[in-house]
Amino acid sequence: MKFTSTRGGETASLDDALLSGIAGDGGLFIPESLPRFGIDEFDSAASIVEVARVLLTPFFDQSTLAPELDGILSETFCFPIPLVELPVVAGRAHLLELFHGPTAAFKDVGAGFLASCLGRLQKSADKPLTILVATSGDTGGAVAAAFDGRTGIRVVVLFPEGRVSARQARQLTCWGGNVLALAVQGSFDDCQALVKAVLADKSLNKRYRFTSANSINIGRLLPQCTYYAHSSLARYRETGRMPSYIVPTGNLGNALALMLTRQMGLPIGEVVLATNANRVIPDFLRDGRWAPGPSIPTLASAMDVGDPSNMERLRVSFGEAVELRGMMRAVSVSDEQIEQQIREDYSRYGFATCPHTATASVVYRQMDDHERRAQDWIVVATAHPAKFEQTVEPLIGGPVPLPESLRAILERPSRYHSIAPDLGAFEGMLHHGFHLDVATAAGDK
């Protein structure tokens, strides 16, 4: 399979699309054509790895990674992604829990898959690959965890100093080895600008091979289709109805994966996007005007996106507002509604929700009984509430127990360097910042 740029005719193989992240013309890679499946093609696929193998095999056609797909998939889906029934009065609803991975957020799936693919592609390369990630919190931790200890690959995580939560900071700075954490003296935008400056710098690119692991990389998007395929098949087999989904949405990667999965023929009903106060997507669907702007800070901070980059993929693949209106809905949720929902989910139903998942929960609870009964609903849970304990614990009046994986991470020592947001400071760190062990350093001349 070939991948084409959203901005023109440039095409790339899967391997090149994974390695470069972004197309040379500044566009994002999308599959040249989507495979279409009949539901019976999944008849003998029960586990998530088996579903992933059927679903993703066409994308690996002609890739050098094709013979290694099984290994990639069992590495990626090494933690459970369960559907948990919600206690509801009308109809039936489930929570799709995407937060049982190493850093307790759904980004572990995309980061794990990308790391498995790049780790294998890198085996035959003579120069180490340096992966840059600017992060406002969640992405950097997932990427660092996924690439931790991989030979021939180094990761530089750039985060705004003093502007991430204490637990997020630990998840960014606890790695060492082939992962370098840089606290940039500035904002998230400064981190992102620095990454762009590095990727564009000719002299640095002569000496190093860089790529970026943020959600523009197609390797983050493809594996996310798997849990939608697997969960929709499970519900369809049980009820004969196509489940509908409510997805907490920021940069639109997770929701786009859902749209692609339905397009490939999987039994998916309605697609409903829940955004926080950053309402550029709901406004676009309503008015037909695309008006990106600066992001607004909210309690669901991993969804604070004023200019979702995957919109470009969505419009090229599915059309403009007129067409999109017939395929999806989007609802914006305020911080007050998020707080109210976290309190109510806990007091009435006995479970704690993270602020992101709460946006989808608000949209579900806002429906009337008729609408809830009309569909088999799946509310997508994107992070574990213990990741956002500073918001959640005061609202529920008690502690949220830490999942084991998160506890292990939080107990590790923290190590990072603070730098000014400029190329000179960054380059110095590339030379002197890594604390590499012998095995990694040997491949790193």
Q: Which residues bind ligand PLP (CB under 6 A)?
A: 105, 107, 138, 215, 248-255, 302-303, 356, 382-383
Query: Closest distance between ligand PLP and the C-beta of residue 382, in Å?
Result: 3
Query: Closest distance between ligand PLP and the C-beta of residue 355, in Å?
Result: 8
For the chain, give me the number of helices (H) and strands (E)?
21, 14
Query: Closest distance between ligand PLP and the C-beta of residue 271, in Å?
Result: 13
Query: Closest distance between ligand PLP and the C-beta of residue 238, in Å?
Result: 27
Query: Closest distance between ligand PLP and the C-beta of residue 110, in Å?
Result: 9
What is residue 179's three-state secondary structure? strand
Give the amino acid at 197.
A
Query: Closest distance between ligand PLP and the C-beta of residue 376, in Å?
Result: 23
Nearer to ligand PLP, 342 or 430 (CB): 342
Distance CA 257, CA 228 (A): 8
Query: Closest distance between ligand PLP and the C-beta of residue 273, in Å?
Result: 8
Strand partners, 245: 271, 378
Nearer to ligand PLP, 216 or 367 (CB): 216
Q: Are 237 and 88 in contact (CB under 8 A)?
A: no
Q: Residue 320's closest CA among 332, 329, 311, 330?
A: 311
Query: Closest distance between ligand PLP and the C-beta of residue 444, in Å?
Result: 31
Sequence-ordered alpha helix ranges (H) in 264-334: 280-287, 311-318, 321-325
User: Cβ–Cβ contacts within 10 Å for residue 351, how many?
Assistant: 14
| Residue corresponding to tokens 């197309």 | 23
Q: Are 135 and 144 in contact (CB under 8 A)?
A: no
User: Cβ–Cβ contacts within 10 Å for residue 433, how many?
Assistant: 17
Tokens matching residue 200: 């564009």
Nearer to ligand PLP, 69 or 81 (CB): 81
Distance CA 430, CA 444 (A): 12
Tokens matching residue 71: 């290994």
Nearer to ligand PLP, 153 or 358 (CB): 358
Q: Which is it for strands 179-184 and 11-13: parallel, antiparallel or unpaired?
A: unpaired
Distance CA 241, CA 39 (A): 13
Tokens matching residue 218: 């197609």
Nearer to ligand PLP, 110 or 152 (CB): 110
Alpha carbon of residue 299 to chain centroid: 18
Query: Closest distance between ligand PLP and the C-beta of residue 202, in Å?
Result: 31
Nearer to ligand PLP, 182 or 381 (CB): 381
| Residue corresponding to tokens 């929960």 | 361
Nearer to ligand PLP, 69 or 383 (CB): 383
Query: Closest distance between ligand PLP and the C-beta of residue 165, in Å?
Result: 13
Give the amino acid at 323.
E
CA distances from 125 to 19, 80, 156, 159, 418 (A): 11, 33, 19, 29, 31
Nearer to ligand PLP, 379 or 383 (CB): 383
Nearer to ligand PLP, 405 or 440 (CB): 405
Nearer to ligand PLP, 179 or 255 (CB): 255
